[in-house]
Chains A and B, each alone.
Chain A
Amino acid sequence: MAFASGYFKTSYASDLFLLETRTHWVFLIILIVGLIIFPFIASPFLLDLANQVFLALIGAIALMLLTGYAGQISLGHAGFIAAGAFTTAILFKELNAPIFVTLPASGLMGAILGIIFGLPSLRLKGLYLALSTLAMHFIVTYLGAEYETKRGFATGVLISPPSLGAFKMEDPRLWYFLLLLIDILVILFSINLVRSRSGRAWIAIRNREVVAETLGIKVPFYKLSAFIASSIMTSIAGCLFAYYRGFVSVEAFSLFMTIEYIAMIIIGGLGSILGAVFGTIFVVLLPYVIDAIGKMLHVPTRLTTYMFAIQYGSFGLIMIIFLVLEPGGLVNIWNRIRNYFILWPFKYKPLGK
């Protein structure tokens, strides 16, 4: 990070601050005010998009912790979300459990699945975790489909909105604030986690596993802890998913969802929470942006069938462009723009920073 000259840290305590300069404070307050006003001025469509972004952010940060910081590749993200959602659905339908029970239960299910599928593959280096999580995805969706059919919910399980104390979560604006609150907690938690001992161990493992081992870091233990932390968070995201949509069906949790989450962290930029935020916003909004561009081109209605297929393919194309041209992701672009403004009229950071 570049700083304008004249900024010094003079105590150890100031090293731990999350917000360092007055400019940080000012921008943060503007952001918070903007976020609070947003639901009152936005149309229901934009509000829904914002809610989708917030919901996806939890899963994206979880995956960022696992892949961006600990360097483990997982292809089972949709499986964990499905596990959380189905746990919620089953507990709701069979036992009529309130959200205070289903939320921790989903987290617990995530942890159990993390241990079962993480233990065999984390013993090895390489792409074995990816294959093991892929297997988990298919097994979880199979079990979910079995439950749906055996209990007669052919089109899916309907879940009524949860009640948190006095609030019945039906209004999207209520959901907006709840999800915003959860997101802020998750972001604070993750930022502190990566600054802690576990986080540093993960970064060491990602960079050079052999050297991490020689430094005395218990590599298998930390790999497993990264996987379990990530899976607990993702399952909780799955539980919220189920409540927000009010509906759980096995067809919603396809491999495409996993690919979307991976795209979020890669396009955002591996190794930074801010990257997860940018990536989520980009990937969730991209289909709608492409749709809007498509509408601007005024294609005759008959040909829109082809247009839709092209829009679907362009999602892949944009991912490819990002991966090839900007491997550092959106956060890299953000940092370059930021540094340009901070350092102006100079061009380069001073040596040693």
Chain B
Amino acid sequence: MLRKTLLGMGLLFFIMALLLRPAFAQDAYLVGCSMAVTGPGAEIYGPVKDALDIYFKEVNARGGINGHPVKLIIEDNAAQPSKAAADAKKLVTQDKVLLLINASLSSTYAPMVQVAQQFKVPIFFAGGVCPDEVYPPKTDPYQYCSTAFGAKYDSRFALSFIKEEAKGPVKLGLVAMNIPISRGEIDFAEELSKTMGIEAVDKEVTPPPTPDYTPFAAKIKSAGANWAYAWAPWGCEVRVFEALRKLGWEGKYLAYAHINAEDELRRLKDDGFYVFGTNAFFADNSEIHKKIKAASEREKSIFPYTQLAEGWIAATVLEEILKKTPWPPDPEKVRSAMNQLKVDIKGLKGGPLAWTMDNHYRTATYYRVYKWDSKKNGIVIVKDWTRLEVK
């Protein structure tokens, strides 16, 4: 009896789900998002979704954009390319969204880009690594990116910072994780270090599921490195650093600042741990940071407010795009709005984020370096906004 009931229910759900389609309001700006809310990398993309939800709930409460509400249709692709492709097709053809947002692992990029190009809908990368096609000069007309980290520009800034800060000979250890993006960047950094006169003494590529980072750290230490540079997912970066410290290494460590970098600086309280990035930390306590903190408390966000910066930036950019898209909207109008975008990110980044027809990353990117200072017992800025032209 139990079996028959379950079977009947299951069949009913199956059929209902395939036939029924929820309808969306016709007077709203429809934005389709395919994110890795569960699955690998969810700790990076979950906060992006959280921030988008909170931001647009408040925008809609204030009356929406151009008098119309904004509806975010969010699908979970669990970092699986096939699901990302199918969800993208559904969003574009059934729900008729104006643009697609991708916040997921890079393996989901190509299928979604294919859908975007086929149906001529712009795709906005908001939390994952920016693909090559958003950088000038070979910019793809349909791909745009607002994420903080940028391949090659990050390493250029990082190495010049290390050279400047070291004020002496540098023996550099490099840390990457064995995923193609991280390895590619560190390989590039290795090449760059030769031209900048920095001696790269060791390069460690850690496999993703590593129980113990001590062997890798031991190699860096025995190679005699006095500085180390890491560009990898946060877990790898911080655990190699902790292993190095446990081995008694006294050198300085520069890591790319992911969304949880601020909390981790507070946890580690180490003067030799530098993080660099393009987003300002909440320790600055500027207006926008107070606003985000208040919104997160009001709406009871799932993730702590210190991790919402990236998503907030994406939401601000999205709002600006939709503001410039006249009603009635369609993907072409959205695209032309995106091609001439200039958004003032109000203290979250070093300067405005600007897109042009040929540059879908940003025309200039600004970096800052933070570290913990035990004398002041707080997070301090080591180097303020440095501008790098993106051409």
Contacts and interface: CB of A to CB of B under 8 A. Distances in A.
Given A45-B93, A158-B110, A251-B79, A145 B180 contact: yes
Contacts, number: 138
Contact of B105 (A247, A251, A256, A312): A251
Contacts of B25: none
Contact of A252 (B2, B13, B80): B80
A302 B302 contact: yes
Contacts of B72: 301
Interface in A294-335: 295-296, 301-302, 304-306, 308-309, 311-312, 321, 325-326, 333
B111 interface: yes
B81 A305 contact: no
Interface string B262-278: 00000000000000000
Interface size on A, as a range, is 35 or more
B180 to A, nearest CB: 4
Interface stretch (A147-155, A198-206, A207-215): A147-155
A135 to B, nearest CB: 15
A17 B40 CA distance: 49
Contacts of B17: 288-290, 292-293, 296
Contact of A288 (B79, B86, B109, B180): B86
A291 B2 contact: no
Given A45-B86, A252-B107, A289-B13, A155 B53 contact: no
A154 B180 contact: yes
Nearest to B90: A45
A38 to B, nearest CB: 13
A299 B302 CA distance: 15
B18 A154 contact: no
B53 A301 contact: yes
Interface stretch (B181-189, B317-325, B360-368, B375-383): B181-189
Contacts of B131: 155
A152 B106 contact: no
A232 interface: no
A52 interface: yes
Given A154-B181, A154-B184, A155-B180, A249 B106 contact: yes
Categorize the interface residue count of chain B: 35 or more
Q: In terms of DSSP, what is the predominant structure of the interface of chain B?
A: helix
Given A145-B178, A149-B187, A302 B53 contact: yes
B106 A45 contact: no
Contacts of B76: 291, 308, 311-312
Given A289-B17, A301-B57, A308-B38, A155 B75 contact: no
Most buried by B among A49, A148, A149, A293: A149
Contacts of A250: 180
Contacts of A104: none
B81 to A, nearest CB: 5
Interface in B73-103: 74-76, 78-83, 85-86, 89-90, 93-94
B237 interface: no
Given A246-B110, A252-B81, A308-B37, A155 B181 contact: yes
A254 to B, nearest CB: 8
Nearest to B17: A292
A183 interface: no
A43 B110 contact: no
A93 interface: no
Contacts of A311: 38, 76
Nearest to A155: B106
Residue among A48, A52, A321 having the largest count of chain B Cβ atoms under 10 Å: A48
A301 B74 contact: yes
Contacts of B61: none
A37 to B, nearest CB: 17
A40 B331 CA distance: 25
Interface in A147-194: 148-149, 152-156, 158
A338 interface: no
Contacts of A249: 81, 106-107, 110, 180
A290 B83 CA distance: 13
Nearest to A49: B86
11 contacts: A44-B89, A48-B89, A246-B111, A249-B107, A249-B110, A251-B40, A251-B106, A289-B14, A291-B76, A308-B78, A311-B76
Q: 4 nearest interchain CB pairs?
A: A247-B110, A292-B17, A154-B184, A251-B107
